[in-house]
Amino acid sequence: MAALAGAALAMGALAACGGGGDEPADDTSTTEEAPPADDAGDVEEEPADEAPPAANPADTLVGITMPARSLERWNRDGAKLQELLDGMGYQTDLQYAENEPETQVSQLENQINAGAKILVVASIDSESLAPVLQTARDEGVIIIAYDRLLMNTPNVDYYATFDNAGVGAMQGEYLAETLELETAEGPIYFEAFAGSDDDNNAGLFFGGAWDVLQPYLESGVLECASGKCPASKEQWTDVAIHAWDTAAAQDEMETRLNSFYTDNKVQAVLSPNDSLALGIAQALDSAGYVVGEDYPLLTGQDGDEANVKNIIAGKQSMTVFKDTRLLAAAVADLVNQLASGTAATTNASYNNDIQDVPTVQLDPVVVTADSVQTILVDSDFYTAEQLGL
């Protein structure tokens, strides 16, 4: 409720600043619509009587801050969201912080000083944003967490994301089914990685996967020769790779292969996303693993171009695809609803250790070599030429 009250206050401030009565254009005709609410929960709408009158989009600056250009997906997210909001007539400012939390703080300060009425934040280290989010709240700015939840703050009004635990569950289930862990005797040599220690999503991904895989480690069907696999999902930071860094994942995998896999071959690797999977695959290549002979199963997430090519080449088994076009469209809708004073539609809720944040949650999908064409090419996410098909 704190979030809703905050949002209502912020919307009031926005309407007062915007001062116009024009309806924003809602023509997103060439873009995908967010999917209907799923089984994550019932669709909830803010009571209409809390909604203030519409603000004029042309007078409304929306600040968008993304973590880094170096990770492919954020380029797509930022560009799509900006394109949609520009098309609706909003003023936008899009910034990337190259994974430096202090840079992101300055960018948010600049956006607040420039009069932003709504901030869409994909955070690097959300806890470091607490003071600047308080400033935003004091100025009556609406704050939307994009993909990554803003933790430990009362100053976040909405969250839009994909089902994060669901991503991990898909990775774990993929390994369990492909390796037939239910009936396998083992030991099947297995290694696990987690994402950045400062990203709330990373713990959710790992937890979703560990719920599926941990019983097989306990029963001895899976064997983690490095001994690094955490005893519980709560200890996921033991295998975290800070800043989701490809080179750090490669180093860590090389260390494990050199130290613990001189006699046995690793047969499966849980990688939480594609940037890590890329480094892990490079380490496997250097260690002499060969596709079609002894290359292990390797998971991923995002559907980055290099990883999809690796999937086609047999160097990565799957990726969990989160269509950035859908997330951007969902957030553009949310911005438009909040700015125009109509009820905000959400279908889930995430707790940020202080409050339940009303959330728009979308469904991810598994992509394997068999479904690259139907899911990624037929939907125009990639052209066949880009992927060398």
Per CB under 6 A, residues contacting ligand BGC are 71, 73, 147-148, 195, 199, 201, 244, 273, 275, 301-302, 322
Minimum CB distance to ligand BGC, residue 279 (Å): 13
Q: Give me the residue whose beta carbon is nearest to ligand BGC.
A: 273
Of the pair 243, 268, the CB lying nearest ligand BGC is at 243
269 by DSSP, 3-state: which?
Answer: strand
CB of 301 to ligand BGC, least distance (A): 5
- What is the CA angle 69-133-242, rounded to 5? 40
Residues in the chain, how many?
A: 389
The minimum distance between CB 182 and ligand BGC, in angstroms, equals 29
Alpha carbon 301 to chain centroid, angstroms: 9
Which CB sits closer to ligand BGC, 60 or 107? 107
Q: Which amino acid is at 346?
A: T
Shortest Å, Cβ 302 to ligand BGC: 5
3-state SS track over 225-256: CCCCCCCCHHHHHHHECHHHCHHHHHHHHHHH
Min separation Cβ 201 and ligand BGC, Å: 4
**Long-range contacts for 288-295 (Cβ within 8 Å, ≥24 apart)?**
289/265, 291/315, 294/265
Residue type, 296: P
CB of 71 to ligand BGC, least distance (A): 4
**Closer of 65 and 273 to ligand BGC (Cβ):** 273
For residue 7, how many C-alpha atoms fall within 13 Å in the half-sphere facing its CB?
30
Task: Report the residue number, 7 or 167, with the smaller CB distance to ligand BGC.
Answer: 167
Task: Give whichever of 202 and 224 is closer to ligand BGC, judged by the CB atom.
Answer: 202
Q: Helix H segments across the chain?
A: 2-18, 72-87, 101-113, 130-138, 164-178, 200-219, 246-260, 274-286, 305-313, 324-340
**Closest CB 167 distance from ligand BGC, rounded Å:** 8
How far apart, in Å, are the Cα atoms of 281 and each of 31, 101, 302? 34, 28, 16
By three-state DSSP, how is residue 65 classified?
A: strand
Nearer to ligand BGC, 107 or 301 (CB): 301
Nearer to ligand BGC, 56 or 317 (CB): 317
Three-class SS state of 280: helix
Shortest gap between Cβ of 200 and ligand BGC (angstroms)?
Answer: 8
- The residue (of 245 and 333) whose beta carbon lies closer to ligand BGC is 245
Q: How far is the CB of 243 from ligand BGC (least distance, A)?
A: 8
Nearer to ligand BGC, 46 or 199 (CB): 199
Q: What order of strands is seen across the sheet that includes strand 268-270?
A: 222-223, 188-192, 268-270, 297-298
In Å, how far are 66, 141, 203, 227, 277 from 193, measured between CA atoms? Answer: 24, 37, 11, 12, 9
